[in-house]
Amino acid sequence: EPTSRLLKESFDQQKDINNFEHYISEFFYTSYKNISNDLLSGKGKKVANGKIEWGDLTSTIGYIHVHSMARFTSNELSRKQHIDTLDYHMEQIMKSFRDKKAILIDVSFNFGGYDAAGLTISSYFTDRPVPAYTAYKFQEGEFLKGSLFSVIPASQYTFTKPVYVMTTDISRSAAESFAIQMKSMPHVK
């Protein structure tokens, strides 16, 4: 991974932090702080157990940083309750963004979680069902019958104006499937 290699090179060139894992933690902490303080000018709102931060980039462009696709509550609840919590917060965000001209969704520092979380978020960006991808199980040297995953529109506040998704080589798992889901919509770049 290019980012991991660059972080290791940067770690080797400094003397302040002795532990590479601590250095990586500081990198992410600094990145999240830059999102809060610089991109959102300290006016962002953190919801869903701190896994989502959102706000205005400008008066016409909304920004949603999805830090994780899991653990949307602090309690040990069922996955469905976590997804229901995410859905509640997404509805509030999208209600607030309904007059925006564009939205930027940032999953560049997202290590994944539940595919259902990505499907929940992407449901707010279509007004009709959209086939996203087919997942195949590979077993004993062959692919078994695939399952089609479609994005089904949310019941309210769907946004079909321009949407931009930011991802990186360190976005993983459910963050990758989320990017695929969003890519299936013509207004998303």
28's tokens: 């992410």
Q: Which residues pair with 55 in a beta bridge?
A: 63
User: What is the Cα–Cα distance from 97 to 62, expressed in whole angstroms?
Assistant: 6
User: What is the Cα–Cα distance from 12 to 18, expressed in whole angstroms?
Assistant: 9
State the residue for tokens 């994780």: 68
Residue 120 contacts residue 149 (beta carbons within 8 Å): no
pLDDT at 94: 98
Q: What is the mean pLDDT of residues 162-173?
A: 93
Q: Tell me if the pTM is above 0.85.
A: yes
pLDDT in tens, 95-134: 999 999 999 999 998 989 999 999 999 999 999 999 999 9
67's tokens: 């830090």
State the residue for tokens 């770049």: 189
